[in-house]
Structure 1
Amino acid sequence: MGMTSLNLALVLMVAISLGVVATRLGLSVIIGYLIAGIICGPLGFHFLETNHQLSLLSEAGIAFLLFILGLELDSKRIRSFGAKIFFYGPIQFFISTSLLMVVAHFLVEDFAQQFWIAALLALSSTAMAAQMLEQNRQVGTPHAEVAIAILLFQDMAAIALIVATPLLVGSALEQNSESLFSPQKLLIFAGWIALSYFLLSKIYSWVASTRQKEVLLATSLLTVLSFASLAHWVGLSASLGAFLAGILLANSNYRHQIEADISPLKGLLLGLFFVSVGIQFDAQPIVERPISFVLLLAAAILIKVGSIFLALRLARLDGIVARNSSLYLGQMSEFGLVLLAMATQLNILSVGLNSILTATILFSFFLSPVLVQISERIFKRFSYLTERPYDVETRSEPVIIAGYGRVGQVMARMLRLRKIGFTALDHDVRQVEIVRKFGHKIYFGDATRKDLLETAGITQAKFLLNCLDDVDSSVALTRTVREEFPNVKIWARARNRDHAMKLLELGANHVFRETLHSSAFATGDLLKEFGMTQQQADEFLSSFLRYDEKLLKEQFDRRHDQEELVSFTIQYNKNLEAVLRADESL
Structure 2
Amino acid sequence: MQLAQSAIFLAAAVVVVPLFKRLGLGSVLGYLAAGAAIGPSGLGLVEHVEDTLHVAEFGVVLLLFVIGLELQPKRLWEMRAGVFGLGSAQVAVTSLLLAAGAWLLGLPPAGALVIGFALSLSSTAFVLQVLGERLELTSPHGRASFKILLFQDLAAIPVLAAIPLLTGSGEGSEATQGPWMSLAIAAAVIAGLVLAGRVLLRPLFRWVLSTRVNELSSAWALLVVIGTALLMDLIHLEAALGAFLAGVLLADSEYRHELEADIEPFKGLLLGLFFVAVGMSADLGVIAAKPLPVLTIVLGLVTVKALALLAIGRLAKMPLGSAASLAIALSQGGEFAFVLFGVVKTAGLVTGEVIDLLVVAVTLSMMATPLLLIARDRITARRAAQNRREFDAIDEENPVIIAGFGRFGQIVGRVLRMTRIPFTALEVDTTQVDFLRRFGNEIYYGDAARVDLLRAAKADKARLIVVAIDDVEASMRTVETVRRNFPALRIVARARNRPHAFRLMAHGAHVIVRETFLSSLEAARRSLEELGVTPSDAREYVKTFREHDERVLNEQYAIRHDEAALIASAKKFSADLERLFDADARQRPR
Would the aligned equivalents of 1:33 and 1:278 in 2 still touch at CA under 8 Å? Answer: yes
Would the aligned equivalents of 2:128 and 2:146 in 1 still touch at CA under 8 Å? Answer: no
Aligned to 2:53: 58
Aligned to 1:502: none
Secondary structure, aligned partner of 1:333: coil
One-letter identity of the residue aligned with 2:98: V
CA distance in 1, matches of 2:471, 2:478: 11
Alignment of 1:219-238 (within 5 A): 219-238=220-239
Question: Are 1:34 and 2:32 matched, yes or no?
Answer: yes
Aligned to 2:212: 211
Return the match for 1:511 from 513, 516, 526. Answer: 516
CA distance in 1, matches of 2:521, 2:118: 48
One-letter identity of the residue aligned with 2:444: K
One-letter identity of the residue aligned with 1:25: L
CA distance in 1, matches of 2:2, 2:63: 28
Question: Are 1:149 and 2:154 matched, yes or no?
Answer: no
Would the aligned equivalents of 1:278 and 1:362 in 2 still touch at CA under 8 Å? Answer: yes
Give the 3 Å change call, closer, same or farther, for CA 16–210 of structure 1 in structure 2.
Answer: same
Aligned-pair CA distance for 1:201: 1.0
CA distance in 1, matches of 2:56, 2:394: 48
Secondary structure, aligned partner of 1:156: helix
Identity %: 23
Would the aligned equivalents of 1:104 and 1:117 in 2 still touch at CA under 8 Å? Answer: yes
Aligned to 1:4: 2
One-letter identity of the residue aligned with 2:270: L
Aligned-pair CA distance for 1:206: 1.1
Question: Are 1:378 and 2:410 matched, yes or no?
Answer: no
One-letter identity of the residue aligned with 1:132: V
Secondary structure, aligned partner of 2:516: strand
Aligned to 2:89: 94
Give the 3 Å change call, closer, same or farther, for CA 46–311 of structure 1 in structure 2.
Answer: same
CA distance in 1, matches of 2:340, 2:267: 23
Decide which moves more: 253-262 or 339-348: 339-348
CA distance in 2, matches of 1:246, 1:64: 14
Aligned-pair CA distance for 1:388: 1.9
Which runs of no fewer than 5 residues in structure 2 stay unpaired? 448-468, 484-490, 548-577
Secondary structure, aligned partner of 1:376: helix
Aligned-pair CA distance for 1:69: 2.0
Aligned-pair CA distance for 1:392: 9.4
One-letter identity of the residue aligned with 2:11: M
Give the 3 Å change call, closer, same or farther, for CA 133–184 of structure 1 in structure 2.
Answer: closer
1:451-499 Cα offsets, whole Å, 9 max, x none, are 86677667659677589xxxxxxxxxx8997999895899xxxxxxxxx
Alignment of 1:128-277 (within 5 A): 128-135=126-133, 138-139=134-135, 144-169=138-163, 170-172=165-167, 174-175=169-170, 191=192, 194-277=195-278
Would the aligned equivalents of 1:67 and 1:242 in 2 still touch at CA under 8 Å? Answer: yes
Return the match for 1:69 from 64, 69, 81. Answer: 64
CA distance in 1, matches of 2:294, 2:151: 26
One-letter identity of the residue aligned with 1:101: L
Would the aligned equivalents of 1:89 and 1:149 in 2 still touch at CA under 8 Å? Answer: no
Q: Aligned residues, how many?
A: 511
Aligned-pair CA distance for 1:211: 2.5
Alignment of 1:426-575 (within 5 A): 426=429, 430-436=431-437, 438-442=441-445, 460=482, 509-511=514-516
Give the 3 Å change call, closer, same or farther, for CA 434–190 of structure 1 in structure 2.
Answer: closer
Aligned-pair CA distance for 1:372: 1.8
Aligned to 1:331: 332
TM-score by structure 2 length? Answer: 0.68
TM-score by structure 1 length? Answer: 0.69
Decide which moves more: 296-305 or 538-547: 538-547
CA distance in 2, matches of 1:270, 1:195: 28
1:198-241 Cα offsets, whole Å, 9 max, x none, are 21111111111223322111112222222333333333344444
Aligned to 2:564: none
Aligned-pair CA distance for 1:277: 0.6
Question: Are 1:360 and 2:361 matched, yes or no?
Answer: yes
Aligned to 2:560: none
1:389-446 Cα offsets, whole Å, 9 max, x none, are 2169999998654x83x676445534666667664454xx5443232563313569xx
Aligned-pair CA distance for 1:164: 1.2
Give the 3 Å change call, closer, same or farther, for CA 518–203 of structure 1 in structure 2.
Answer: closer
CA distance in 2, matches of 1:78, 1:486: 45
Q: Of the two, which has the highest radius of gyration?
A: 2
Give the 3 Å change call, closer, same or farther, for CA 206–310 of structure 1 in structure 2.
Answer: same
Give the 3 Å change call, closer, same or farther, for CA 225–95 of structure 1 in structure 2.
Answer: closer
Decide which moves more: 354-363 or 267-276: 354-363
One-letter identity of the residue aligned with 1:202: P
Give the 3 Å change call, closer, same or farther, for CA 387–480 of structure 1 in structure 2.
Answer: farther
1:136-157 Cα offsets, whole Å, 9 max, x none, are xx42x6x852232123212321
Aligned to 2:18: 20
Decide which moves more: 71-80 or 176-185: 176-185
CA distance in 1, matches of 2:445, 2:79: 30
One-letter identity of the residue aligned with 2:363: L
One-letter identity of the residue aligned with 2:157: V
One-letter identity of the residue aligned with 2:56: G
Secondary structure, aligned partner of 1:281: coil
